[in-house]
Structure 1
Amino acid sequence: MGISLQAKKRDNFSRATTKQIRREGFIPAVVYGKEKEPQTVSVENIELLKTVRDEGRNAIISLDIENGNSVDVMLHEYQTDPVKGEVIHVDFYVVDMSEEMDVAVTLRLDGDAVGVKDGGILQQPLYELQVRAKPREIPEEIAVDISELAIGDSISVADIPVSDKYELIDDAETTIAVVLPPESETESEEDVDFSAEPELVGAEDEEE
């Protein structure tokens, strides 16, 4: 089930009015979608942040606009103040509940890899998966069990079990997690280029 969020219509776009909206605890926003006329609104800052924290970024929100219209939306994009880090503007996308859409879903690694217990180093190159699904069937997150990973082993997108509710659209060969061999005494994770051959890295060090 989606959750509700109140929105006020916004017709004055002057800088002074926008600042006043933010001072009053609201965030300027735009509501748009396929074949939908964009609407400018504002939503309460605390309520929006609470909704995203509790329900996740891909939650279906029933946005109740003050003229009586209610639309199902998802949080599409947001802008933050580069100094304060506060959210200063959001974009809501009107969703068609019967139509598939592409979204980013958080990837969670479960378990303790046996390779890490043996001294290996776990790396996670990918933190989100691109998913295609109908809005109601978008998973909150996707968990991948890494407990059987030994040193030198890796898991790619192709290793994730197929779901009948959503489709993964990342490249199947994209690495999700890998357990690397332990570092040597003279190397650190910061200065090693894992894409280069160890012999070449060593040779460069000797020349320097």
Structure 2
Amino acid sequence: MKSITIKGSERESVGKKATKALRNAGKVPCVVYGGEKPLHFSADELAFKNLVYTPNAHTVVVELEDKKKVRAIMQDIQFHPVTDKIQHIDFYQLFDDKEVTLNIPVRLEGNSPGVRNGGRLLFRNRKLTIKALPDNLPDFFKVDISKLKIGDNILVESLESDEFSILQPSTTVVVQVKTARAAVVVDDEDEEGEEVEGEVTAAEGAEETTEAAE
């Protein structure tokens, strides 16, 4: 998995007054858990841009002024309710021999023949939660939909690996193609296909958009 380096300064004071002063200076107070004791540090808000504002998953190397480096993953983040500025970030320290839990994004590749024939592509799970050793964390799951016909789906079980455990049940649907009115159902022996009676109304189109977002 790709790593992002965050350069920061260890915090000597963690009180409310010191925390407010950091935020006023454009810095984000953070803490790394999982080691012998919590590590409190701060860094410029811009330093977290490629970590927070992306659908991708990353590990982090926290690099402090005394050349201390800590490998971690982001566990929790708090935003200001009005300005949406980052208020605080919790990290969890990584160790080579300890498994961690992380959400990994799913990427679809290819063009579904079922969609070309008028079916609806429903992306049910855009992220999957896995448990793995740090060195076995994948950047993303690649899901090929180029063979998905109307009525087909791809389940979690097809993405399982010996290098990690997926915490969702193996029967969980990741992506599927559902029949829509006016869809063309093509059998292997019938290249022409059969048109399903009816038309897609504007309301059904809105329903499709809503379901796809779920």
Question: Given the two structures, how large is their TM-score scaled by the length of structure 1?
Answer: 0.79
Give the unaligned 5+ runs of structure 2: 182-198
Mapped to 2, the partners of 1:112 and 1:37 lie a distance apart of 50
Of stretches 17-26 and 49-58 in structure 1, the one that deviates more from structure 2 is 49-58
Q: CA deviation at 1:25?
A: 2.2
1:50 to 1:104, Cα distance in 2 relative to 1, 3 A:
closer
Q: CA deviation at 1:53?
A: 6.0
* Counterpart for residue 174 of structure 1: 172
> In the alignment, which of 188, 199, 202 is matched to residue 204 of structure 2?
188
* Counterpart for residue 202 of structure 1: none
1:112 to 1:55, Cα distance in 2 relative to 1, 3 A:
closer
Q: CA deviation at 1:19?
A: 2.7
Q: CA deviation at 1:12?
A: 3.1
Preserved CA contact (<8 Å) 2:57 2:140? no
Preserved CA contact (<8 Å) 1:58 1:138? no
Preserved CA contact (<8 Å) 2:51 2:58? no
Preserved CA contact (<8 Å) 2:56 2:140? no
* Counterpart for residue 29 of structure 2: 28
What is the correspondence of 1:45-194 to structure 2 with a 5 Å cutoff? 45-51=45-51, 56-59=56-59, 61-160=60-159, 162-183=160-181, 184-185=199-200, 188=204
Mapped to 2, the partners of 1:56 and 1:156 lie a distance apart of 21
Question: Given the two structures, how large is their TM-score scaled by the length of structure 2?
Answer: 0.77
Match of 2:8, as an amino acid?
A: A
Mapped to 2, the partners of 1:177 and 1:55 lie a distance apart of 18
* Counterpart for residue 42 of structure 2: 42
Mapped to 1, the partners of 2:18 and 2:178 lie a distance apart of 54
Mapped to 1, the partners of 2:55 and 2:119 lie a distance apart of 35
Mapped to 2, the partners of 1:71 and 1:96 lie a distance apart of 10
Match of 1:31, as an amino acid?
A: V
Mapped to 2, the partners of 1:62 and 1:55 lie a distance apart of 19
Match of 2:6, as an amino acid?
A: L
Of stretches 162-171 and 140-149 in structure 1, the one that deviates more from structure 2 is 162-171
Q: Between the two proteins, what is the percent identity of the paired residues? A: 27
1:3 to 1:153, Cα distance in 2 relative to 1, 3 A:
closer
Q: CA deviation at 1:68?
A: 5.0
Of stretches 14-23 and 102-111 in structure 1, the one that deviates more from structure 2 is 14-23
The SS at the match of 1:37 is coil
Q: CA deviation at 1:106?
A: 0.4
Mapped to 2, the partners of 1:62 and 1:120 lie a distance apart of 44
1:172 to 1:56, Cα distance in 2 relative to 1, 3 A:
same
